[in-house]
Amino acid sequence: MTQSGAITSKMAENRTFPPPAKFVEQANIKSLDEYRRMYEQSIRQPEEFWGKIAEGFHWFKKWDKVRDWKEPDVKWFVGAKTNVSYNCLDLQIEKGRGNHPAILFEGEPGDVRKITFKELRTEVCKFANVLKKLGVKKGDRVTIYMPMIPELPIAMLACARIGAPHSIIFGGFSATAISDRVGDADSHIIITCDGGWRRGKVVPLKATVDEALEIDRRVKQVVVFKRIGEQAKVTMKAGRDFWWHDLMKEASADCPAEQCDAEDPLFLLYTSGSTGKPKGIKHTTAGYMVYTAFTSKMIFDLKPNDLMWCTADIGWVTGHSYVVYGILQNGVTSLIYEGSPDFPNWERFWTMIEKHKPTVFYTAPTAIRAFMKQGRQLVDKHDLSSLRLLGSVGEPINPEAWMWYHEVVGRKSCPIVDTWWQTETGGILITPLPGITDTKPGSATRPFFGVEPDVVDRSGKTVNVNEGGLLVIRQPWPAMLRTVWGDHDRFKRTYWSDIKGCYFTGDGARRDADGYYWLMGRVDDVLNVSGHRLGTAEVESALVAHEAVAEAAVVGMPHEIKGEGIAAFVTLRKGFTASDELKKALDAHVVKEIGAIARPDQIRFSEALPKTRSGKIMRRLLREIAAGGDVKGDTTTLEDFNVINKLRQDDES
Ligand code: PRX
């Protein structure tokens, strides 16, 4: 079923792994019967279920109705007033967590900061007042382009405090990508840094913002946090650019939280689709708040003394939900690391675990595979005994990586939660519950409360056990996206038109006889490169924007570490010839247009692209060719697809 080039397992692993007895004893949910009863209710009586869960939160005003569902539009906690920053901070302080660390930060150079819930609230309130003073009002979109430092969650929570939705752009995206997102969100303010540390070098974030603002000039104000100092060499434009520390000096620490409507937008987050430019996924206030807090508590089994280390960048949805919002709402400390896992060497993560003693560690299969390649001796040297639970996210985890994670990092004593979800879902939808689920390496196991998945064929009919099909969700859950920013039609088209009456995920899956889900990768033209989502169309349009390129087709290819790599087939305009220099130039061009995550693993020149009679590029064929081998360095042979075209196969891609 899968069309992606995701790696397939070489290893058959049929064992199941029950939760260790020691874990079960202390788990938040430890009875399978209790799970079954709760799950049944969550599906049959979602309003009663979620209404009860929501009782534990802070509301300025309670809801009139828990759910209002008119496909494809849903509202949760209709009529309620709340504030997510209040629930992350003030509520925790009221519960006596004020002096407990909310954030434990380690910068790449090794600097460490501990920020308590009280201190975090002070910083958030001050920065919220800074935003207000700059004229930011409820509903205004605030763009954030920052490295993984505490000021990033401070800026997010400040936005949430005043009801201004944030739009965070991952620090690896290029100036063009920033200007596209700023333009689409019609955002007039950017929060950034002079730079961030990555592998010992300065990432020039402010300079990239300057470049972006040359392309789209609507941004009136830029706030710059000084992370680096001298070495960053920034230029500040008078009247437009302000230093964070200057503005904070005068800001008051008193900022009552805005009473937001349950359905007020909390944030936009851009993600790739199968066509066109990235879309702004809109998440709203109350449903997202309740869902991320509850999933965090149940799936990561959070307790007051846990230290959660989710290694995802806050620029992706995983960081939004499980570095910041879900974790802080549980009064739990979130460990934030600024830099790269291989700096100064591949022991960085293990050294950090030994030092800071996180209890829950949540990372991506691509990282696990990279660690595997370095060898277990680097892990074995360190004391990882603080860890009690491991998580995986972002892409299918191959059984080899699962087993290595279990044996080497988890020392066979930590349950692994392989969590399936998406930017659009806001929180985890399919996952083990660590105290009750017997895990099977490579399976995300069962749906979370309130989630009703199914595997169907193109006509929407449920397929048989163990048959591949399309993964859909049959009813809305609280953290479901509400729309695509500025394009409700695209929202309907993308998620609600392929399979009638269901949310279509874009993923292929199969369900086994135990009701376990096995994710099989994307079935559309979306790639998953190192757990990062990229549209083939985006990379293609970056390539054709180069003067030498006539036509481009991009497909996924299996990649040992990244899971999926990028293969680009390119035909050249008259007057240009294939060469290594041109390959390098195209490489650099894609990086400039999108960012380093989109750098092609292979660029292959060809005379023509293989097409069907109706002119569609035969992607399936290209995927097969790309999977066949690396052609790096071999630029002289042009692949002659004319032959294939002459055969005029009717193969629809
Ligand atoms: O294909 C699925 C894959 O990642 C896609 C969502 O990507 P994104 O919106 O960037 O969010 C990633 C982090 C939540 C999905 O459509 N995916 C995510 N988690 C898993 C996964 N595939 C298999 N197993 C997972 N655990």
Distance between CA atoms of 571 and 380, rounded to whole angstroms?
49
Q: What is the mean pLDDT of residues 505-525?
A: 96
Nearest-CA residue for atom 5 of ligand 1: 422
Percent of the chain with pLDDT over 90: 90
Q: Report CA(86)–ligand 1 centroid distance (Å).
A: 29
pLDDT for the residue 620? 86
Q: Is 563 in the pocket of ligand 1 (CB under 6 A)?
A: no
Mean per-residue pLDDT, 622-643: 66
Question: Does the C-beta of 443 come closer than 6 Å to ligand 1?
Answer: no
Task: Return d(Cα 115, Cα 407) in angstroms, integer.
Answer: 33
Q: For residues 121 and 89, is the Cβ–Cβ distance under 8 A?
A: yes
Best residue for ligand 1 mutational test, from 291, 316, 422, 505 (most atoms within 8 Å of Cβ): 422
Q: CA-CA distance, 191 to 528, in Å (whole number)?
A: 28
- Per-residue pLDDT tens digits for 13-59: 889 999 999 999 999 999 999 999 999 999 999 999 999 999 999 99
Of residues 452 and 638, more confidence is placed in: 452
Q: What is the pLDDT of residue 3?
A: 42
Backbone φ, ψ for residue 295 (5° rounding)? -60, -40
DSSP conformation class of 597: G
Please choose, from the candidates 87, 123, 130, the residue with its C-alpha nearest in 3D space to the C-alpha of residue 103: 123
Interval between CA 394 and ligand 1 midpoint (Å): 4
| Residue owning the nearest CA to atom 8 of ligand 1 | 422
Residue 145 Cβ contacting ligand 1 at under 6 Å: no
Q: What is the pLDDT of residues 98-110, one digit of tens each?
A: 999 999 999 999 9
pLDDT reported for residue 613 = 76
- Ligand 1 contact, 396 CB (< 6 A): yes
Supply the pLDDT for residue 612: 78
- Ligand 1 pocket, residue 422 CB under 6 Å: yes
> From ligand 1's centre to the CA of 422, what distance in Å?
5
Query: Residue 506: enclosing H or E segment and its boundaries?
Result: strand 503-511
Tell me the C-alpha distance between 492 and 71, whole Å.
9
Q: How buried is 33 (Cβ within 10 angstroms: 0-12 exposed, 13-18 middle, 19+ buried)? A: exposed
* Helix, strand or coil, per DSSP, at residue 186: coil
Question: What is the rounded average pLDDT for all residues in the chain?
Answer: 94
* Residue 10: per-residue pLDDT: 58
How far does residue 317's CA lie from ligand 1's centre (Å)?
10
Scanning 459-598, the segments in alpha helix (DSSP H) are 488-496, 536-544, 580-593
- Ligand 1, atom 15: nearest CA belongs to which residue? 422
pLDDT at 275: 83
Ligand 1 within 6 A of CB of 522? yes
pLDDT at 13: 80
How many angstroms separate the CA atoms of 256 and 222, rounded?
24
For ligand 1, say whether the CB of 506 is within 6 Å of any of its atoms. Answer: yes
- For residue 644, the CA-to-ligand 1 centroid distance in Å is 35
- CB of 421 within 6 A of ligand 1: the answer is yes
Q: What is the pLDDT of residue 637?
A: 53
Burial of 139-166, coded b for 16+ CB within 10 Å and e otherwise, reads ebbbbbbbbbbbbbbbbbbbbbbbbbbb
Mean pLDDT of 508-530: 95
- The pair of three-digit structure tokens given for residue 274, joined into one six-digit string: 């199968």
Query: Which atom of ligand 1 is nearest the CA belonging to 519?
Result: 23
Shortest-distance Cα residue to atom 3 of ligand 1 = 395
What percent of the chain is modeled with pLDDT above 70? 94
Nearest CA to ligand 1 atom 6: 422
Q: Say what the pLDDT of residue 296 is.
A: 98
Summarised one tens digit per residue, pLDDT across range 135-174 is 999 999 999 999 999 999 999 999 999 999 999 999 999 9
Q: pLDDT band at residue 557, thresholds of 50, 70 and 90?
A: very high
Rounded to 5°, the CA angle 554-555-560 comes to 130
Ligand 1 geometric centre to CA of 27 (Å): 26
The residue whose C-alpha atom lies closest to atom 12 belonging to ligand 1 is 394
Report whether pLDDT(399) > 70.
yes
Amino acid at 438: D
Q: Which protein residue has the closest C-alpha to ligand 1 atom 2?
A: 395
What's the confidence (pLDDT) of residue 305? 97
- Does residue 418's CB lie within 6 angstroms of at least one atom of ligand 1? yes
Torsion of CA 143, 311, 19, 299, to 10 degrees: -10
Average pLDDT over residues 528-556: 95
pLDDT in tens, 320-353: 999 999 999 999 999 999 999 999 999 999 999 9
Tens-digit pLDDT profile for residues 194-242 = 999 999 999 999 999 999 999 999 999 999 999 999 999 999 999 999 9
Mutate which of 528, 529, 534 for ligand 1? The one with the most ligand atoms within 8 Å of its CB, which is 528
Q: If pLDDT is split at 50, 70 and 90, which confidence band does 616 have?
A: confident
Cis before 344 (ω within 30): yes
